[in-house]
Amino acid sequence: MVSAPWKSSGKTLVSLGIISHFAGLGAEVRSFKKGPDYIDPMWHRLASGRECHNLDPYLMGNWGCLESFTENCKPAKGLLALVEGNHGLHDGLDIDGADSSAGLAGLLQMPVLLVLDSRKVNRGIAAIVKGMQTMPPRADIAGVILNRVRNPRQGEKQKTAIERYCDVPVLGMLPQDEALLIPERHLGLTTVEEMEGAAKFIKASAEKVSRYCDMEEIFRLFHKAPPLKVRKRENKAPVVDFRARIGVLRDAAFCFYYPDNLRALKENGAELVFVDSLHQTALPEIDGLYIGGGFPESFFSELSGNLGLMNDVRERVESG
């Protein structure tokens, strides 16, 4: 798991760099995002070439997280599984931290790679790591990456303090680079579709992470976690004797969908038909329409100008 003491520390940059680096070497990388997040998984998908799945103990329960993780890591042999935490390592709704990233790491028996924003602190950064180590639920912090390091002298002093007082190796020191910042908005990062040069950004993040981090040691962390044995629930999906064609608006305007939800629809008899609301002028033959979230306000002109699709949706709604 890649996590941090608090949000906006650089864990997405590090996660994308690691995913893209090992995927570029031919490894099969399966990525996950802790929490109900739509946007970060889009970036993960672009980096790995595979769907990124969400894991949230509060919404899914421990069993749901274990089942989704193991189901989406098949076949387990040889693949690399990375979970990006959300907010801070110990942040969550429960005061005991059961639904925090640390709690999820413990549930999945995963080591944690802690990303630290190294600005405005010196040797005291070791106290932050020590606090992350001792705060319950205890996480196995197996490595640290320093981000936004101003100069080598600062980085070396922080590295020495962390390794002396916390007995945790510093596996990388990323220099400050404003070019490697994904713009943020009220719901988090800018989406892949909205950011020009998203693929170039991921390539640059992989180059930077691989240049300034010990990728061999990071690779070993993937193999530090023991195998998970989860007994699959029987008759998870009901047997259905009908099929329904469900249209799903999926494009740059409407892009907030969880892969597990789409899979659940298919398991319950739905045939999914994806529709591009920005370019298609009519709906196909469908029995229902699923319109997910996104940023339609950013595509107001395109959507309002697509009168054919707009009128078709209105007519079908009015006709029942």
Amino acid of residue 232: K
Find the mean pLDDT for residues 229-237.
Answer: 65
How much is the pLDDT for 238?
61
Range scoring the smallest mean pLDDT among 21-35, 63-77, 207-221 = 63-77
Find the mean pLDDT for residues 243-249.
Answer: 95
Q: Tell me the pTM.
A: 0.90
Output b/e per residue, 212-251; b: 16+ Cβ within 10 A: bbebeebeebbeebeeeeeeeeeeeeeeeeeeeebbbbbb
What are 281-300's pLDDT values in tens digits?
A: 999 999 999 999 999 999 99
What are 194-213's pLDDT values in tens digits?
A: 677 889 999 999 999 999 99
How much is the pLDDT for 227?
82
pLDDT(134) > 80: yes
3-state SS class at 33: strand
Q: Mean pLDDT over all residues of the chain?
A: 93
What are 79-108's pLDDT values in tens digits?
A: 999 999 999 999 999 999 999 999 999 999
